[in-house]
């Protein structure tokens, strides 16, 4: 057998095995569940509009601690405790600039706020990233607010 014939035979064998393994991979892929089929559905929860917030004085230490834990789990990736903007705006001074009701509604029902509130829409234009719904309950949002107040120096 000449060198060309050997090379051609090797090429044909390689092509045959490559096609066979591709077909096998496609068949396996058809039988395998997709990522969406494996995912556990978790419905998005939207809060109802919060109309009033009762602030405590002095701050409730337990709420501050819980609020900090929630911040570290759900907020830290996008918000710093300083005025530095990461993905979203920094939290320093937020309780001095915004009303508690506004903060609570932004945490629990960001979609409503982005649809109806000019300040929320302005923040979206500045940050260019829509805040995701973190499925935070009203009770947990209140604890986050308590942590924000602590972060802003309230006692």
Nearest Cα to 152, choosing from 105, 100, 109, 117? 100
Topology annotation, domain 61-151: Cytochrome Bc1 Complex; Chain D, domain 2 (1.10.760)
Cβ-Cβ contacts under 8 Å for 119 (sequence gap 6 or more): 98, 102
- Check residue 43 and give its pLDDT: 65
Looking at every residue in the chain, the average pLDDT score rounds to 84
- Check residue 70 and give its pLDDT: 98
Say whether pTM exceeds 0.75: no
pLDDT, one tens digit per residue, over 108-132 is: 999 999 999 999 999 999 999 999 9
CA distance 3 to 90: 70
- Check residue 26 and give its pLDDT: 57
pLDDT, one tens digit per residue, over 64-100 is: 999 999 999 999 999 999 999 999 999 999 999 999 9
- Check residue 61 and give its pLDDT: 98
Which whole number is the average pLDDT over 19-29?
54
CA distance 63 to 59: 8
């Amino acid at each position: 057998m000449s060198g060309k014939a050997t090379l051609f035979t090797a090429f044909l064998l390689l092509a045959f095995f490559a096609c066979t393994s591709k077909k096998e991979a496609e068949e396996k892929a058809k039988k395998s569940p997709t990522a969406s089929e494996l995912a556990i559905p978790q419905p998005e929860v939207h809060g109802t509009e919060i109309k009033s917030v009762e602030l405590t004085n002095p701050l409730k230490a337990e709420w501050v601690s819980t609020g900090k834990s929630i911040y570290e789990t759900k907020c830290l990736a996008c918000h710093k405790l300083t005025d530095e903007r990461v993905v979203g705006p920094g939290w320093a001074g937020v309780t001095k600039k915004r009303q508690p009701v506004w903060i609570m509604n932004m945490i629990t029902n960001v979609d409503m706020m982005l649809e109806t509130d000019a300040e929320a829409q302005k923040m979206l234009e500045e940050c260019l990233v829509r805040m995701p719904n973190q499925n935070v309950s009203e009770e947990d949002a209140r604890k986050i607010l308590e942590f924000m107040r602590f972060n802003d120096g309230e006692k």
